[in-house]
Chain A
Amino acid sequence: MYLYALASASLFIIATPPLKMTANIYLQRTISNTRYTLKKMILTHLVDRRFEQTQKPGERIELIDGDVDGSMYLYHSIYLDVSLNCSIIIAALLVTAHYHPLLALAPLSGLVYAIAAHLITRKHSNSLFDEYVQENTLTIGALCELLVNAKPYTNRIKVDIKNIERLAFRSSLKATTFESMSGTCYPIAILVLLLLSAHLLSVGEATIGSIFASAIYLERVLSPTMSMISIYYSSREASYRRSRIRSYELQHEGH
């Protein structure tokens, strides 16, 4: 039995790198197609005379390349990451329930807490990186203007750059703070596990081994949960960039 478990674990470890590489190459090929389609669409929109364009050339380059490259994760890779994390959560929950159905309550309580905290903070996090991205686009436009005119930095540009640096720090700090609020699910889940374990040990319905195992699986449930919440907050900038891309698609549909 132990040998079979060991052999399966070894097979899984050996099979992971080729599977990862195949998935990575396939994803890159799909991403390339989407990248080309989106950049072509935005470029067509930005040179279309039917739509009033007020941006400087540098800003337009940022809108085409910056927005598409910056939001590409949300078009393909995110689905792979989310499905992998969901599979791990479900598998770990099932294994914990197999030891004792009540023990599954501990990771479930952590999961519910993390989701609730995420839903509460979600509304405040929607526009976290909007100002940063807008300022960045304007400044890149202004910097390209300086290049065209071969002029040095103006005082205004220096102030704008300082402002972008400040916005980058502030937005990131807010995002990680919101993420941390969901992250406090771990002590909650451990507390539930300790209480349940005390109860199950007192009535003799669980062994010490099964409790230790469920503590390990608790980590296996909460780690991918936090990973998904982290994906959400770290992709806020990408999300805003994608919303800008979608606005061009809507304008085209409107015509």
Chain B
Amino acid sequence: MFICLRNNLTVFLLSVICLTVATICQLLIPSVVAKSLSALTTGSINAEFYFTLIAVFLTKLSSQALGNSLATLMEARSRFLLINFIVHDKRPSPLCSRVTLIKEDAEKIASVIHDTIHLIGSCILTVPAAYILLQENIYFFLPIALIIVLTCVQLRFAKPVIQRLYAAEMSKEDLYKESLISDFNVSSDGKQSKMQLIRSYGYLKDTVRARYKYLKASAIQSFWPEMAISAGTVSVIFFSAAATPELFGERLIACLGYIGIFTMASTGSIRLGITMIGVKVSVDRIFRGHRYE
């Protein structure tokens, strides 16, 4: 995947910058609205507040639109970069396997790159959010540390299961694609083509079942870190309420906002992390130890 990033570094950086600007603006909006309402209650409101809001909002919308489109361009370019390698790879490989690499593996890797760009855009704010949480209340340290440690341990244990199921899905895809190619090449209209078609239905069923098993395992593996995040959030709320009553009020609302940012980014990271573990199999299938120049 680094090859795709290296070859499209400008597009990658531009899209990440645009999406980060959009996220910063998104975070600024509640603060501008709160200031406007405070000014309204004190009678000192003027048009400047509203113009600031419009400026922030338009910046957010335009940077989001550009960032999204650049991420899509990056996805398309990465896909064709990988396809270029697959088509021109001199090493012997069955036709059905190459078709699967083009149709499934390359598309999945490109899709992960697209999702990574979006996640980086929002994750850049996770670190400051975690830092603010720690500054607000040291009780946040324990759940944040626990969530990070548990997630790392969970991903380590999940890796072999996910990779085995993903590899099983891809090997079924190979067989299914081979049967499809045979279907389209059978010239006769008789018994042979019917038998071939029935065989293809069987391979199709196996492929669909293998994908379901992989997706089910991914959902189960991402459940435990998400549960840890929820438990951490609840424990923080209760600790804050019991141990630091001064935080239990107006400031807690602000803290909960930061917890929300941290939770969303962490959940997204875990899901993408699990997808990346699977997609690593696709990267190995395409390059097979070859060093890309």
Contacts and interface: CB of A to CB of B under 8 A. Distances in A.
Contact of B237 (A10, A140, A211, A212): A10
Interface string A50-62: 0000000110111
Contacts of B115: none
A168 to B, nearest CB: 4
Contacts, number: 174
A152 B73 contact: no
A10 B232 CA distance: 11
Contact of A194 (B40, B219, B241): B40
B180 interface: yes
Contact of B226 (A17, A28, A46): A17
Nearest to A164: B76
Interface of B: 29-30, 33-34, 36-37, 40-41, 45, 50, 53-54, 57-58, 61-62, 64-66, 68-70, 72-73, 75-77, 80, 83-84, 87-88, 95, 98-99, 102-104, 177, 180-181, 183-186, 189, 193, 197, 200-201, 204-205, 208-209, 211-212, 215-216, 219-220, 223, 226-227, 229-231, 233-234, 237-238, 241
A140 B50 contact: no
Contacts of B84: 153
Nearest to B49: A194
A6 B250 CA distance: 14
A116 interface: no
26 contacts: A9-B237, A13-B234, A17-B229, A20-B223, A25-B220, A29-B212, A39-B208, A40-B204, A46-B184, A57-B185, A65-B104, A148-B95, A152-B87, A152-B88, A164-B80, A169-B76, A173-B69, A180-B64, A183-B61, A187-B54, A190-B36, A190-B50, A194-B40, A211-B40, A215-B33, A219-B30
Contact of B183 (A13, A47, A186): A47
A231 to B, nearest CB: 14
A173 B65 contact: yes
A197 interface: yes
Contact of A144 (B53, B102, B200): B102
Interface residues on A, range: 35 or more
A16 B87 CA distance: 45
Nearest to B73: A169
A246 B227 CA distance: 40
Given A16-B230, A62-B103, A194-B50, A147 B98 contact: yes
B77 A32 contact: no
B230 A172 contact: no
Given A21-B219, A29-B212, A143-B87, A201 B40 contact: yes
A227 interface: no
Contacts of B201: 40, 43
Contacts of A148: 95
A250 B37 CA distance: 57
Given A43-B204, A191-B50, A215-B33, A186 B57 contact: yes
B33 A13 contact: no
A198 interface: yes
Contacts of B220: 21, 25
A36 interface: yes
A140 B103 CA distance: 8
Contact of B197 (A43, A143, A219): A43
A184 interface: yes
Nearest to B259: A13
Contacts of B37: 194, 197, 208, 211-212, 215
Contacts of A120: none
Nearest to B234: A10
Nearest to B193: A47
A152 B41 CA distance: 71
A83 interface: no
B41 A176 contact: no
Contacts of B193: 47
Contacts of A197: 37, 40
Interface string A137-170: 0001001101110001100000001001100110
A255 B68 CA distance: 43
Contacts of B223: 17-18, 20-21
B75 A180 contact: no
A16 to B, nearest CB: 6
A166 to B, nearest CB: 9
B230 A14 contact: yes
A208 B193 CA distance: 76
Given A58-B99, A169-B73, A176-B68, A32 B41 contact: no
Q: Considering residues A49, A58, A187, A211, which has the most beta carbons from chain B within 10 angstroms of its beta carbon?
A: A187
Contact of B77 (A35, A144, A165): A165
Contacts of B73: 165, 168-169, 172
B84 to A, nearest CB: 7
